């Protein structure tokens, strides 16, 4: 059976896992989760009881959650692929290190903005409380400072290389998904323009935007039916997966 990636829209970090699966070139399916539609389908609890994406139903009908685990699983299952890794190798160690940074420090820098975003949408911890002007400004200041720090780190890293680890890896796929949050939140909250102070990072993200797998993932999020590289075998619903989601 093909693995099934559960991805969330809008603006889910699961975007990067779609890109990685396209790059790795093995058959897979997708299951779409509308994150703003609450409550989620109760059947998703069998996939991830925390009701978060991404999540993966493997070929062996095991469930896996968290981007770090899913991306490392995908890369290690394809060790002969240029993006594949072998456990215990120096390349695997560097990939673990980079992904750990991206899913922690880089991702977390945006948390204050997602709190504001969810609160405005009537979900999340501030759904019933709201945010007064002073607290909103504090959250924006904290986020702007932290995001700038993370962008500066990546910008310096990319000064002498085309990819995060020198060669393309699933870490680049992940950053294709979360790196776009800078521009997204700049439109909403007026952060900063990457092209000004972080030209290396801005150029890197532009190159990623032109990648066919990234364009494919964008089309998937928009609800279109792109062809991709031929590895995507279509969407499947939670109802259709019930026989694979045994307790």
Task: Report mean pLDDT in 10-residue bins for the chain, 247 residues.
Answer: 97 98 97 94 97 98 98 93 92 98 98 86 62 84 97 98 98 99 94 93 98 98 93 97 87
Q: What pLDDT, on a 0 to 100 scale, did the predictor assign at position 130?
A: 64
Domain encompassing residue 80: 4-244
pLDDT tens digits for range 11-35: 999 999 999 999 999 999 999 999 9
Q: What pLDDT, on a 0 to 100 scale, did the predictor assign at position 119?
A: 74
| Structural domains counted in the chain | 1
Q: What pLDDT, on a 0 to 100 scale, did the predictor assign at position 122?
A: 65
Q: For the domain that residue 226 is a member of, what is the CATH number?
A: 1.20.1050.10
Per the DSSP assignment, residues forming a β-bridge with 31 are 6
* Peptide bond between residue 102 and the one before it cis (omega within 30 degrees of 0): no
How many residues are recorded in the chain? 247
Q: Is-above-0.85 flag for pTM?
A: yes
What is the spatial distance between Cα 100 and Cα 114, in angstroms, rounded to a whole number?
Answer: 20
Q: What pLDDT, on a 0 to 100 scale, did the predictor assign at position 78?
A: 86
Tokens of 57: 């139903």
Per the DSSP assignment, residues forming a β-bridge with 56 are 5, 64
Residue 180's alpha-carbon distances to 8, 35, 56, 57, 117, in angstroms, are 15, 18, 23, 26, 16
């Amino acid at each position: 059976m093909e693995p099934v990636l559960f991805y969330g829209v809008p603006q889910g970090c699961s975007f990067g896992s779609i890109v990685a699966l396209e790059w790795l070139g093995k058959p897979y399916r997708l299951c779409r989760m509308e994150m703003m539609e609450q409550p989620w389908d109760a059947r998703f609890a069998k996939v991830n009881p925390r009701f978060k994406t991404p999540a993966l139903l493997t070929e062996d009908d095991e469930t896996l959650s968290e981007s770090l685990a899913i991306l490392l699983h995908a890369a290690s299952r394809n060790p002969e692929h240029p993006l594949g890794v072998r456990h215990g190798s120096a390349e695997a160690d560097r990939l673990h290190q980079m992904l750990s940074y991206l899913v922690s420090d880089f991702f977390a820098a945006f948390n204050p903005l997602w709190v504001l975003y969810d609160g405005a949408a009537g979900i999340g911890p501030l759904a019933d409380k709201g945010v007064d002007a002073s607290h909103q400004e504090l959250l924006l200041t904290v986020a702007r400072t932290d995001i700038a720090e993370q962008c500066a780190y990546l910008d310096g890293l990319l000064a002498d290389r085309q990819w995060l680890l020198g060669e393309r890896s699933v870490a680049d796929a992940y950053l294709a998904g979360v790196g776009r949050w800078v521009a997204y939140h700049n439109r909403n909250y007026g952060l900063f323009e990457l092209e000004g102070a972080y030209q290396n990072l801005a150029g890197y993200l532009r190159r990623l935007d032109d990648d066919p797998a990234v364009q494919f993932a964008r089309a998937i999020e928009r609800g279109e039916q792109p062809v991709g590289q031929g590895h995507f075998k279509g969407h499947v619903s939670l109802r259709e997966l019930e026989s694979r989601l045994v307790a």
